[in-house]
Structure 1
Amino acid sequence: MTSIHPNSRTFAGVTLIDSPLVKAALEYARVHNDNMSFNHVYRSWVFGAMIASKLPKFANVDLEIHAVSAILHDLAWDYKSVFSTPDKRFEVDSANAAREFIDRMAPQWDSRKRQLVWDGIALHTTGSIARYKEPEVALCHLGISADFIGPAFPGDVISREDFNAVIQELPRLDFKEGVTRIVCNLCIHKPETTYDSFPRDFGIRFVKGYEVPSEVDKILKAIDATAEA
């Protein structure tokens, strides 16, 4: 059983933590995300909570850390976001924005809790790392992934009925088109931040003129430069 919090509520059949900090995070995401993105981060939190309730590996997960991470994970994925910078991946910008939120709203949190939120957000698209981090970090990634793949989530953890119940409350709102637009805009407006992450594939497929510099060429050039020094 996941950690119990005195404040909880049921949403689409899923028990969710309902602390003042989680409520504040929802309000913050509501202000800084469009409707499609807000529904996505909310669903990601719900699916993560659903997964945590069914898998023993998340028995001792801190549900508040997970909630804040999931709810704030896309604060900067729109290149026009006030949190977006020209030189950082959107995951890092979002993690930094979430850390600033926690500094203001939860000054009592220790450094470990803050770091888990930062890691959960910064690594949420890097499953090959996130899955092997702390349970809160792994759960953030898994809940977000579940919003994309739904009942195809491994292990039959999310049934079609479970998935539909959440979608009924939080519609997808042209999710496929919205994600494609947002991610392609990252490739257009801050391409250097996309070369080593999943937006690269969107850029290659959908953005005219988008080119990814060869890592091999960069490495060999750097070796040549050091050899000549």
Structure 2
Amino acid sequence: MTRQSDLMIVVPDSKLAAAATELIRDTESDLLFHHSTRVYFWGALIAARTMMRFDPELLYVAAMFHDIGLTARFRDSQLRFEVDGANAARDFLRSQGITEEDIETVWNAIALHTTPGVPEFMRPEIALVQAGAGMDVAGRGYDQFTDAEREAVVSAHPREADFQHRIIDAFYQGMKHRPDSTFGTFNDDILAYKDSHFHRTDLCSVILSSRWCSQPQT
């Protein structure tokens, strides 16, 4: 629980939120669980500061599921981890009887949370998940939060010692078996940092070596 002036921000008190919490708590490490919960709080605080209206349940579920694709459950997947997380959230929400419109919002929030320059122009829940994740991992917007806000969130959901390196390793463990899924995203930075043998796919090389280039020019 944390406070924005006279506004109290809490995890939604609902069966849906409780079920999401239980599932993620049982699936993710402490590192990812507390990170995901902090993403919700950062997003909700941003919304309070900017007077942005949002659905707390949808934001909470999206924040909780946004990194589940990094877990051992998806070690055989070749999809982007964000898509695995979005699909897992979709299945969970369908089991809870949530409307397809709301499911699409959560799916997009998770699938696009590592895609810069797009979510901020979409529905609030989508924008807030990316903003919250950016704050927690990279400190984007850090100074826009008060000391009291940061202290309250981290007190409730602590950042583990050496969080920066531990979250990079969590990303790496969740993506090292599917390096091709990082093409076109900044996720390839993780693989390049952790694995000296990782070879980035270069779009210019892809274009210049395509089948079009072997055809006679007119």
> TM-score, normalised on structure 2?
0.88
Kept in 2, the 8 Å contact 1:85–1:93? The answer is no
1:155-166 → structure 2 map (5 Å cutoff): 156-166=143-153
Superposed CA offset, 1:117-140 (max 9, x none): 000000011131111111111011
Who is 1:103 aligned against? Answer: 94
Q: For residue 186 of structure 1, report the CA deviation from its aligned partner.
A: 4.0
Query: What is the alpha-carbon distance in structure 2 between the residues aligned to residue 91 and residue 190 of structure 1?
Result: 12
Query: What is the alpha-carbon distance in structure 2 between the residues aligned to residue 193 and residue 30 of structure 1?
Result: 26
Who is 1:64 aligned against? Answer: 57
Query: What is the alpha-carbon distance in structure 1 between the residues aligned to residue 174 and residue 180 of structure 2?
Result: 9
Who is 2:31 aligned against? Answer: 36
Structure 2 counterpart of 1:77, one-letter code: L
1:19-168 → structure 2 map (5 Å cutoff): 19-56=14-51, 58-59=52-53, 61-78=54-71, 80=72, 82-105=73-96, 107=97, 109-150=98-139, 153=141, 156-168=143-155
Structure 2 counterpart of 1:130, one-letter code: P
3-state DSSP of counterpart to 1:101: helix
Kept in 1, the 8 Å contact 2:75–2:177? The answer is no
Kept in 1, the 8 Å contact 2:43–2:128? The answer is yes
Aligned-residue identity in percent: 29
Count of aligned residue pairs for this structure pair: 210
Who is 2:167 aligned against? Answer: 179
Verify: 1:15 aligned to 2:9, yes or no: yes
Query: What is the alpha-carbon distance in structure 1 between the residues aligned to residue 216 and residue 13 of structure 2?
Result: 59
Q: For residue 84 of structure 1, report the CA deviation from its aligned partner.
A: 4.7
Deviates more, 1:11-20 or 1:88-97: 11-20
Kept in 1, the 8 Å contact 2:58–2:102? The answer is yes
Kept in 2, the 8 Å contact 1:44–1:147? The answer is yes
Superposed CA offset, 1:117-174 (max 9, x none): 0000000111311111111110111122222345x617x5411221111111111113
Q: For residue 188 of structure 1, report the CA deviation from its aligned partner.
A: 2.8
Gaps of 5+ in 1: 1-10
